Structure 1
Amino acid sequence: MGDLEVIRFADRGRSVSVELENAAGGGRYDGWHEAEIVIETGFVGARLPVHFTDADLADLTTFLAARAVAEEDGAPPDGSVTDWPAAGRSAYLRLRVADPFVVEIRDPVQSGVTVSVPLQLRDDWATRAASRLDRLRTALADSR
């Protein structure tokens, strides 16, 4: 995992990650972060620009915290769906809490293409992802 990785969903053969384009996390516009969605599978390898705010990072933190609690409680996947960042501004991830966990990469604004990546995530993935995201958010706040 790189220092600029916002989130990473991965199993043995596939991954979807979101990586900041610079260490300061800043973008062309005040308050926006520029990043790339990186898709790596045996079938698809792609990079797609994505833009999000600190509020979007807080939303992702909330999603991961809820998933971590569900993992700790041993709750089975419930089929819920979350879009991150919120749909409509740029490309985004649709996160489907199922077995397997599915990440859909949607790009309605530029290409109109959707890629679906089913993943067998490891136990405690949400707890680890939340911890990494918390460290990144702290580093971003400190760099301003």
Structure 2
Amino acid sequence: MGVAMFYHLTQRPLEATLPMLLDRALAAGWRVVVRGTDPARLDWLDEKLWLGPEDGFLPHGRAGGPHDALQPVLLTERGDLPNDPACLMAVDGAAVSAEEAGRMERTCILFDGNDTQALQAARGLWRSLTAAGCAAQYWSEESGSWKKKAES
């Protein structure tokens, strides 16, 4: 069973933080599902990932195509996991079950620390995952660099 890592975004937006985490997951040899809640927002994120740094390429795809199972990173709003990921990254309040978190090497929950609803949703998810026995870590970037602030 892996760990659920909660990333409290306060300094950098999702479109800056997500590529860094995806790079690390891919370097570990993991396939990743990025689960969101809004198809339009995922389309926007898909575009941002394609425009990434000039010196890099982040292979990914948007769910619903014929090659979903082959994608190293798959962006979706659905609950299925067609690319057999080792890592699940939840954005914009997407749901994650304790069963899913338990099957993953890593589960990342990224939430906007400047959004009260997102903060409350992340706290609720922390409580439900830890109550179900999932290991969890809380990471904050409020000091300008990522620091682990809590662990269960």
Q: What is the TM-score of this pair, normalised by structure 1?
A: 0.30
Q: What is the TM-score of this pair, normalised by structure 2?
A: 0.29
Higher relative contact order (CA 8 A, sep 6+): 2
Q: Which has the higher helix share?
A: 2
Q: Which has the higher strand share?
A: 1
